[in-house]
A and B are shown apart, each in its own frame.
Chain A
Amino acid sequence: EVQLVESGGGLVQPGRSLRLSCAASGFTFDDYAMHWVRQAPGKGLEWVSGISWNSGSIGYADSVKGRFTISRDNAKNSLYLQMNSLRAEDTALYYCAKDGGNSAYYPLWSLYYFDYWGQGTLVTVSS
């Protein structure tokens, strides 16, 4: 059974930093790209960032580019999101999501759809 468990969220002041983690199990982690998707309270879904199986390809939404850094540790089956210079508009539930495509079978580093999601970790940016 695929499991994705996020952690690291909390209340943080504007301008400060936070690091999110996602522990993955139930699948071969280093076969898949992974992503972060967020949802502001009462709002829709927004893709934040994605990373290929070997960290060779990375993408960011314009809204977080230059402030957030995605990374992974395949030995620990873990995904991370380092969030710096946080703003009030970054307040959201952050989901870790598994890419829908196995990198062994597709030439693209990501199929950009998300077949399994964690339960999310809440980040609140407020003074």
Chain B
Amino acid sequence: DIQMTQSPSSLSASVGDRVTITCRASQSISSYLNWYQQKPGKAPKLLIYAASSLQSGVPSRFSGSGSGTDFTLTISSLQPEDFATYYCQQSYSTPPTFGQGTRLEIK
């Protein structure tokens, strides 16, 4: 199975900050990388698919980049509603696997 490793595991930031979360795959996955946001008690929500494609309805302050083994999720200007846990997930091969999550907290 392909292992996905996110860094950092947790992050404190302030409203208005630019934030970057990194995801690394244990082998090349081309651009088959997706990002999800999960708020407490809620289901995950797809933000980015295919490394850099913004899911419909997701604010443009979210962006994704990368290919091969290294990927990033960037939030250009943090809003209060962005404080949540973020997961990356590879869709290159089965089984699809997720990173361990990055918890984004208010500073």
Contacts and interface: CB of A to CB of B under 8 A. Distances in A.
B39 interface: no
Contacts of A115: 46, 49, 55
Task: Tell me the dominant secondary structure on chain B's binding face.
Answer: loop
A100 B48 CA distance: 11
B49 A113 contact: yes
Nearest to B87: A45
A113 B91 contact: yes
Contacts of A47: 95-98
Given A44-B101, A118-B43, A100 B96 contact: no
Contacts of B44: 45, 95, 114, 117
Nearest to B45: A117
A13 interface: no
Interface in A83-110: 95, 100
A11 interface: no
Contacts of A59: 94-95
Nearest to B56: A115
A117 B98 contact: no
Contacts of A126: none
B72 to A, nearest CB: 18
Contact of B98 (A44, A95, A100, A119): A44
Contact of B43 (A44, A61, A113, A120): A120
Interface of B: 32, 34, 36, 42-46, 49, 55, 87, 89, 91, 94-101
14 contacts: A44-B87, A44-B98, A44-B100, A44-B101, A47-B97, A47-B98, A62-B95, A95-B44, A112-B94, A113-B89, A114-B44, A115-B49, A117-B44, A117-B45
